[in-house]
Amino acid sequence: MEKRFSLNANQLKLIAIIAMTIDHLTWVLFPGTQAIWYVCALHIIGRLTAPIMWFFIAEGCHYTRHMGKYIAQLFAFALISHFAYDFAFGIPFLPLSTGVFNQTSVMWSLAWAAALVFICGREDVPQWCRILAVVAVCVISFPSDWSSIAVMCPFFLYAHRGKFKLQAADIVIWTFIYAAMYFIFLDKLYGALQMFTFLSIPLLSRYNGERGEWKGMKWFFYIYYPAHLIIIGVIRMALHGDIPIIF
Range of the domain at 62: 9-240
Q: Would you say residue 118 lies in a domain? A: yes
Q: Would you say residue 2 lies in a domain? A: no
Distance, CA of 112 to CA of 153 (rounded, Å): 12
Q: Is 3 exposed, middle or buried (0-12, 13-18, 19+ CB in 10 A)?
A: exposed
Are the C-beta atoms of 68 and 81 separated by less than 8 Å? no
pLDDT at 1 exceeding the cut of 50: no
**pLDDT at site 3:** 54
Are the C-beta atoms of 151 and 111 separated by less than 8 Å? no
- Per-residue pLDDT tens digits for 167-185: 999 999 999 999 999 899 8
27-40 burial, b at 16+ Cβ within 10 Å, e below that, comes to bbbbbebeeeeebb
- Per-residue pLDDT tens digits for 85-94: 999 999 999 9
CA torsion angle 142 168 55 131 (round to 10) = 40
pLDDT at 142 exceeding the cut of 80: yes
Q: How many domains in the chain?
A: 1
Are the C-beta atoms of 31 and 43 separated by less than 8 Å? no
Q: Would you say residue 245 lies in a domain? A: no
Q: Would you say residue 91 lies in a domain? A: yes
**pLDDT at site 46:** 97
Q: Would you say residue 246 lies in a domain? A: no
Q: Would you say residue 3 lies in a domain? A: no
Q: Would you say residue 82 lies in a domain? A: yes
- Per-residue pLDDT tens digits for 189-245: 999 999 999 999 999 999 999 999 998 998 999 999 999 999 999 999 999 999 998
